[in-house]
């Protein structure tokens, strides 16, 4: 028989906390991923990996915080440990691929579309793999069109978040990108939950796996610690927080004062930008001819 599904058993507490976790992971991850754009000589692979890990941790934590408030009438819900960890691994890999594409190819055109699509698919894959980790006395069925809409929401919103983060125009752009990423994750989650129908068998066989309280609460410590560490890195990097570009490194020449190098470089830049037809002509050495008096 079809059972009643309730995703808000704790009211708006779990949706709001889940949304905040998604925004936090998105804010930290996108700031770390865009650090090579604003700070010269950054270790790009390390920062991109840290950004992808923070985003994946925020996505995964958001999903299972929301699932804390998910109940099905007539059957308890348990979770398989291996499938739950696999959902985190899928999020790490797919979000990492999308972040690295945008990080190395730029947040425009084909790289942005490809990276955003892969990141959105990573969000959706994590969600539905996490749903598959549930063990209960019944079967799950999904509406195909609603599932497709949830995946499209994830891809579009993830692409928009990566584009906004790639602009690197300051703190407000970072906040906007993190809000869009939070909307991508939570919007995809609750749209996917709306596609769900549960048919309870009504048998006395107990569900296999572990309860949400005994499994999910301890497992969330790892992603939460990662988010805290990423937050510490961002807090102590003012350029990373404000999105300001660091000055380009200058070439140090022995024996030449710094102000003279700056003046010379400015003069050469101005000369190169000056129209050729208006530049003063440089003449070579002038030949001095002396006239001698000729006697007739």
* pLDDT tens-digit map of 266-276: 444 444 443 44
Average pLDDT, the chain: 76
The pLDDT of residue 246: 46
DSSP 201-237: ----PPPPSEEHHHHHHHHTHHHHHHHHHHHHHHHT-
The pLDDT of residue 210: 64
Query: Bridge-partner residues for 211, per DSSP?
Result: 78
DSSP 76-98: --EE-HHHHHHHHHHHHHHHHHH
* pLDDT tens-digit map of 139-184: 889 999 999 999 999 999 889 888 887 775 666 777 888 888 888 8
Residue 64: CB atoms within 10 A of its CB come to 24
- The one-character DSSP state at 256 is S
* pLDDT tens-digit map of 54-91: 888 889 989 988 988 888 888 888 888 899 899 999 99
The pLDDT of residue 226: 75
Q: How far apart are CA 92 and CA 74, in angstroms?
A: 34
Q: How far apart are CA 47 and CA 40, in angstroms?
A: 13
pLDDT band, very low/low/confident/very high, at 98 (cuts 50, 70, 90): very high
Rounded average pLDDT over 133-138: 85
What number of H helices and E strands is found in the chain?
11, 7
117: helix, strand or coil: helix
> Comparing 6-10, 37-41, 67-71, 291-295, which segment has the lowest mean pLDDT?
291-295
């Amino acid at each position: 028989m079809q059972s009643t599904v309730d995703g808000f058993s704790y009211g708006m507490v779990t949706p709001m906390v889940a949304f905040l976790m998604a925004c936090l992971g998105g804010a930290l991850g996108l700031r770390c991923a865009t650090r090579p754009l604003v700070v010269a000589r950054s270790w790009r692979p390390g920062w991109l990996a840290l950004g992808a890990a923070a985003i994946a941790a925020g996505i995964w934590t958001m999903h299972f915080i929301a699932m804390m408030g998910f109940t099905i009438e007539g059957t308890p819900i348990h979770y398989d440990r291996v499938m739950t960890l696999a959902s985190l691994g899928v999020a790490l890999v797919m979000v990492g691929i999308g972040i690295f594409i945008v990080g190395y190819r730029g947040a425009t055109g084909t790289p942005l579309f490809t990276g955003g699509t892969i990141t959105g698919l990573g969000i959706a894959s994590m969600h539905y793999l996490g749903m598959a980790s549930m063990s209960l006395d019944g079967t799950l069925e999904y509406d195909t069109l609603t599932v497709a809409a949830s995946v499209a929401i994830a891809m579009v919103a993830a692409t928009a978040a990566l584009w906004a983060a790639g602009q690197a125009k300051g703190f407000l752009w970072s906040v906007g990108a993190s809000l869009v990423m939070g909307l991508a994750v939570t919007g995809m989650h609750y749209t996917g939950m709306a596609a769900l129908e549960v048919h309870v068998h009504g048998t006395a066989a107990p569900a296999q796996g572990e309860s949400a309280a005994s499994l999910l609460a301890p497992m969330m410590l790892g992603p939460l610690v990662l988010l805290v560490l990423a937050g510490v890195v961002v807090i102590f990097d003012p350029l990373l927080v404000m999105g300001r570009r660091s000055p380009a490194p200058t070439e140090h020449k022995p024996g030449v004062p710094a102000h003279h190098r700056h003046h010379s470089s400015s003069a050469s830049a101005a000369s190169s930008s000056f129209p050729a037809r208006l530049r003063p002509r440089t003449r070579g050495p002038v030949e001095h001819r002396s006239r001698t008096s000729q006697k007739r």
